[in-house]
Amino acid sequence: MDSFKTLLKFLTNQKSSIGYCFMAAVTIGSERIFAVVSFHCPCNRSQNFAYGLTFLLGPAVVLLMIGLFVCTRLWRLYTGCCLNPSKLCPRGNFMGCTKVIVKVLSGACMAPVMWLSVALLNGTFYECAVSGLDENVVVQIICKNKTRICQDELPRVPCSKSQLPEKENTELLLMLRAQSQILGWSIIIISATVLLIGNCFKNCRSQVSYLQLTFQKIYMEKEKEQFELFAENYATKLAERNLKSFFDNKSPEPFPLPNHKAWKEISTIYTFKKYEQYYSTLQRYVECTYLDSPEKQLFMEGEDGKEVV
């Protein structure tokens, strides 16, 4: 039993890493299924480029949209901003607005970057797309020091149906695959570098210590879990109260719930302030006893205690 608890605790602590590994495994599996089952290069100069590029970029665009759709941070900020555009950048806080956009996009781009990296490392889609390019410069580079027939037969090289000698056909395939893999590794290196620099910059400008940030992360996870439990519990009680009132045909009992202003306040995103000892917007809200207190007024106006990041 102790071993099971230890394993469960380890898996819980490493759930982010496990999630990324699972995402990578799904991406690799999906790419192989696309390449083997549904991808068939037309081997036609007028269609190769569009067909290959669609398979290369299409899934990446879909994954980006899914990443944005499931991003809770985006919807917490975006909800209601059409009626109140200043919600995204309160009092002209363009730096905070930029931080939000960067965090949302960086999270949503994880899956698309994985897809592009895996697809380019495999090279199938790239070979088909580039072989259909009609740009003389590109074609001349690929067919450098080769006969004129190379340029004419290039679109049929990915299908091994060209009239080129087998050795020359293989050399062209290896060249295209090498280019694709170089691009794939370039994307991986650039993404890792940007991620490292971004984390270094964020931690360098942090107003609190690393251990306190770790504690805040744990607290936020627990608060989210408890919020879902409380929300489900209260929603169940409210539904039971309304149904009981309806079927008993009598006035419902009082049932206190947060008002619209309270929901709006706890929906903002909170960042540590060196002069505050709060770990979330919810904690700050419940510890501010009076809604009309000076501190609460600053919070509502987007000054000092509230920062959209």
pTM for the whole structure: 0.77
Supply the pLDDT for residue 8.
45
Does 112 share its domain with 195? yes
Domain carrying residue 28: 2-204
> Is 309 among the domain residues?
no
Q: Going residue by residue through the chain (309 aa), what tens digit of pLDDT does each one get?
A: 555 445 445 445 555 556 667 666 777 777 777 677 778 888 888 888 899 999 999 999 999 999 899 888 888 878 877 777 776 665 556 676 777 788 888 888 888 999 999 999 988 899 889 888 877 777 777 877 777 788 777 888 888 777 778 888 888 888 899 999 999 999 999 999 999 998 898 888 887 888 888 898 899 899 999 999 999 999 999 999 999 999 989 898 888 888 888 888 888 777 666 677 888 888 888 887 544 545 555 554 444 444 434
Cβ atoms of 163 and 149 within 8 Å: the answer is: yes
d(CA 213, CA 85): 30
Q: What share of the chain is helix, strand, coil (3-state, %, to 5)?
A: 70, 0, 30
Does 182 share its domain with 222? no
Supply the pLDDT for residue 167.
83
Does 33 share its domain with 99? yes
Does 97 share its domain with 187? yes
> Is 81 among the domain residues?
yes
* Single-letter amino acid code for the residue at 233: N
Q: Among residues 306, 297, 228, which one has the least CA distance to residue 272?
A: 306
Does 136 share its domain with 283? no
Q: Which two tokens stand for residue 67?
A: 């990443």
Distance of alpha carbon 152 from the chain centroid = 42
How many domains does the chain contain in total?
2
Does 56 share its domain with 170? yes
H helix runs in 205-308, sequence order: 210-248, 260-266, 281-287, 294-301
Supply the pLDDT for residue 9.
52
> Is 128 among the domain residues?
yes
Which of these three, 141, 174, 204, is where a domain ends?
204
* Single-letter amino acid code for the residue at 58: G
